[in-house]
Amino acid sequence: MYKRYLLALLSCLALNAGAARAGQTCEQNPPSAEMVGKGIAMAVKTVGQLNAGDAQVVIIGRVGQDLRKYKQHYSHLGFAYRQGTGKEAAWTIVHKLNECGTALSNIYEQGMGQFFLDDPFRFETAVLVPTPELQQKLLRVLTDPKRVLAEHTPDYNMLAYVWNTRYQQSNQWVLETMAMAQETSIVNREQAQAWLKFKGYQPTVLQLGPMTRLGGRMFKANIAFDDHPNEKRFSDRIETIGADSVFDFMQKAGMSTDYFVVSL
């Protein structure tokens, strides 16, 4: 199993692994041997725990950045779905990544090894297992080239306003795609957001002062605040979608059957 992940990891390194990131810097520094080793070990351990269960689709989160000053833990979410059966099953990650140095994004499929190659702050992942019914709905979406992009907006904003469709950040795509899968009548982002609001989703609230907002807007192509209502923005209340809030919402709404953490 280690050999299989090492080959996959080396392949993705050859394919410009740093070209897209989820809230990370765009520095093209080669990964250290220690980081590669930990990434492989983390991938193998995560897949081992996933293969010990019977889930077909999970929502997976990683600690890509240190968000403790914002009282957040996990920074980035993606879907993972199983291919194959038993201990030799492989898992494919489907997630939204920001194109480095730009305000654009795309939906990517990656192996588990590459998911942990992105220089994470901590080698730790959280796994939420949706209900069996929701898993089957998600699997149909994630394996359909058209439907998997239905809720995707390329214009990327790391702090996109939760109830606006001008921009979209990575966790927002996961949550809105989950809503579309759960409620098949949803065909656009406006409907997905209305459904989430009706179901009681509570966004992440960040307290960001004017100087912090100004610095982010001036020096980061992937940060904007013009989609936030003035009354919230000027009171330093930035409402966006943090990974922790998605885990909390799905558990409280009865959309999951299990939640566990894997770490080195």
Contact (Cβ atoms closer than 8 angstroms) between residue 167 and residue 160: yes
152: pLDDT strictly greater than 70: yes
Q: What pLDDT is stored for residue 3 in this prediction? A: 37
The pLDDT tens digits for 103-122 are 999 999 999 999 998 778 99
Q: What is the mean pLDDT of the chain?
A: 87
Q: Residue 32: pLDDT band by 50, 70, 90 thresholds?
A: confident
In this predicted structure, the answer to whether residue 129 has a pLDDT above a threshold of 90 is yes
Nearest to 62 by CA among 14, 8, 18, 22: 22
Neighbours of 91 (CB within 10 A): 21
Q: What mean pLDDT is predicted for residues 52-57?
A: 96
> Could you give the C-alpha distances from 243 to 7, 41, 64, 234, in angstroms and in order?
30, 23, 11, 24
pLDDT at position 85 is 80
Would you call 139 helix, strand, or coil by DSSP? helix
Q: Residue 25 has which token pair?
A: 């810097």
The residue among 87, 88, 84 whose CA lies nearest residue 56 is 84
Name which of 47, 42, 44 is nearest 62 in CA terms: 42
